[in-house]
């Protein structure tokens, strides 16, 4: 190790501690969110029954699919292009980044609502809800406006306000739980539960966006803000970065919302409800480890801005080792306690979801073991690599899913999801190792700088 590399790596431990501390702030909120989410699912399951719950799940999956596909992951743009101007006090340059990000959010929300309303009528019957339920599904598509919140999220992460996001996670889950309980008591049926989810999304978005604006104003970053001027001026490569990160995240819907919609279209709303229940439990189990991702991105962005490449490698490796241990523990807990817990919370009607749930948890565990790979690729300015991996694996998964569902049912779909998670991890790792080799070769060709008088740290 050269003195330069040692200097870059020095201080990684405090950064890792900061990542864990920020993840810990989110953990409290997201853990409560997960528990409240399971309680909400239990209320909906008992109030609606599996077939109607399946319709609710499919409508939610459709709006989430649209929001995720059209929404640019502009929070990554805020971190990648906003970190250096913010650190250097270049307010005008930072405001241009925010303006670019906000513009993408607004356009994304309008497109999602327009396509959602039209699709609710055109695809009624094909996606699991009837023509009579199409109008209420179309109204629910307005939720997409308040689902798009990438810019406030990016700003709060950049400002290390993870406490706000932790409270927001609790807020949306609490509103959803209370509103769902009211819908159950009042006999609101499917419209009542859709209204409950809409109110929760609206309330949490207002809190998140209001908090981000207040933080900007407190730092004096709203003064002189203007919507006028060239959208990408002074930010070379920002459009390519935005498209690539959007595609990388958008392709993730192939493994989440598209899978749910395909299960519903092929096997019916009841099986879609079973699949969604298993996914909810899997997400809840994996949530603690996944919370490292939003805490990791800002630190990688700062290291990238300081050109501390070796420190980035070391931080990603340490996080990977940590999440791998957590993932193994989660899989063990789920295998032992998951099925009986599922039947106890939701009722015996949902016991058939247990086997598929185990495979879904296995897929989630593989994902958290590989958690630092995609953030590292994106932070290194290589989002296109993540896009190609997700595209290839996603197409293969979706192409195989009809056969897996028809031949093996939900267990086949779950096994396919686990296989896809493994392929994603291997693909990301391959690009990481190749990039690492390229940088090592470049370092070997470059002359060594004079050694520090203090020697290697």
Cα gap 240→246, rounded to integer Å: 10
- Element holding 406 (H helix, E strand): helix 383-445
H helix or E strand, kind and range, residue 333: helix 309-346
Tens of pLDDT, residues 118-144: 999 988 877 778 888 889 999 999 888
Average pLDDT of the chain to the nearest whole number:
79
pLDDT (average), residues 197-214: 92
Average pLDDT over residues 157-169: 82
Q: Is the pLDDT at 195 greater than 90, yes or no?
A: yes
Q: What is the pLDDT of residue 290?
A: 63
**DSSP string spanning 152-181?**
HHHHHHHTT-HHHHHHHHHHHHHHHHHHHH
Which pLDDT score is estimated for 25? 53
Higher pLDDT, 201 or 442: 201
Is 286's pLDDT higher than 60? yes
Q: How far apart are CA 158 and CA 141, in angstroms?
A: 30
Per DSSP, the residues of 80-101 read HHHHHHHHTT-HHHHHHHHHHH
Share of the chain above pLDDT 90, in %: 15
Q: Determine which of 194-198, 222-226, 254-258, 342-346 has the lowest per-residue pLDDT on average.
A: 342-346
Q: Report the pLDDT value the prediction gives residue 223, as an integer from 0 to 100.
A: 87
| pLDDT for position 183 | 93
Q: Full-prediction pTM beyond 0.85? A: no
- What pLDDT, in 10s, does the model give residues 291-303? 666 666 666 666 7
Specify whether the CB–CB gap between 164 and 29 falls below 8 A.
Answer: no
User: 149-185 burial, b for 16+ CB within 10 Å, e for fewer?
Assistant: bbbbbbbbbbbebbebbbbbbbbbbbbbbebbeebbe
Long-range Cβ contacts of 394-402 (<8 Å, 24+ apart): 394/251, 394/254, 394/255, 394/420, 395/254, 396/420, 396/423, 397/254, 397/255, 397/259, 398/254, 398/258, 398/259, 398/262, 401/259, 401/262, 402/262, 402/266
> Model confidence at 436, in pLDDT bands (50, 70, 90)?
low
With contact defined as beta carbons under 8 Å apart, do 309 and 8 qualify?
A: yes
């Amino acid at each position: 190790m050269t003195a330069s590399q040692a200097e870059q790596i020095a201080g990684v431990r405090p950064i890792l501690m900061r990542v864990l501390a920020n993840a810990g702030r989110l953990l409290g909120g997201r853990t409560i969110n997960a528990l409240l989410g399971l309680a909400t699912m239990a209320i909906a399951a008992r109030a609606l029954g599996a077939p109607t719950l399946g319709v609710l799940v499919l409508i939610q999956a459709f709006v989430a699919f649209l929001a995720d596909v059209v929404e640019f992951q502009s929070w990554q743009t805020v971190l990648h292009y906003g970190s250096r101007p913010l650190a250097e006090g270049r307010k005008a340059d930072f405001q241009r980044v925010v303006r670019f990000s906000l513009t993408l959010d607004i356009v994304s929300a309008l497109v999602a609502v327009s396509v959602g309303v039209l699709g609710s009528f055109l695809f009624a019957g094909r996606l699991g809800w009837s023509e009579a339920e199409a109008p209420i599904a179309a109204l629910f598509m307005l939720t997409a406006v308040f689902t798009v919140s990438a810019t406030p999220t990016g700003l709060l992460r950049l400002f290390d306000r993870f406490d706000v996001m932790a409270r927001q996670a609790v807020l949306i889950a609490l509103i959803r739980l209370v509103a769902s309980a009211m819908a159950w008591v009042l006999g609101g049926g499917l419209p009542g539960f859709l209204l409950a989810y809409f109110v929760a999304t609206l309330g949490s978005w207002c809190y998140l966006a209001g908090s981000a604006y207040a933080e900007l104003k407190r730092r004096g970053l709203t003064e002189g803000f203007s919507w006028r001027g060239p959208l990408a001026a002074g930010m070379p490569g920002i459009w390519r970065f935005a498209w690539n990160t959007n595609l990388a995240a958008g392709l993730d819907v192939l493994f989440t919302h598209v899978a749910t919609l395909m299960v519903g279209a092929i096997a019916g709303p009841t099986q879609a409800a079973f699949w969604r229940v298993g996914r909810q439990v899997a997400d809840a189990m994996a949530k603690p480890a996944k919370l490292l991702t939003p805490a990791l991105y800002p630190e990688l962005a700062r290291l990238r801005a300081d050109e501390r490449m070796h420190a980035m490698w070391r931080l990603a490796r340490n996080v990977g080792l940590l999440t791998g241990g957590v993932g193994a523990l989660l899989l063990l807990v789920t295998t032992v306690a998951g099925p009986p817990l599922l039947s106890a919370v939701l009722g015996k009607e949902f016991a058939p979801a247990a086997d598929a749930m185990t495979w879904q948890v296995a897929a989630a565990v593989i994902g958290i073991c590989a958690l630092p790979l995609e953030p590292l690729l994106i932070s290194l300015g290589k989002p296109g690599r993540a896009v190609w991996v997700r595209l290839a694996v996603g197409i293969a998964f979706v192409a195989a899913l009809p056969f897996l569902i028809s031949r093996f049912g939900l267990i086949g779909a779950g096994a396919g999801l686990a296989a896809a998670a493994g392929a994603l991890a291997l693909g990301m790792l391959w690009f990481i190792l190749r990039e690492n080799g390229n940088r090592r070769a470049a370092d070997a060709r470059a002359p060594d700088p004079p050694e520090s008088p203090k020697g290697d740290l």
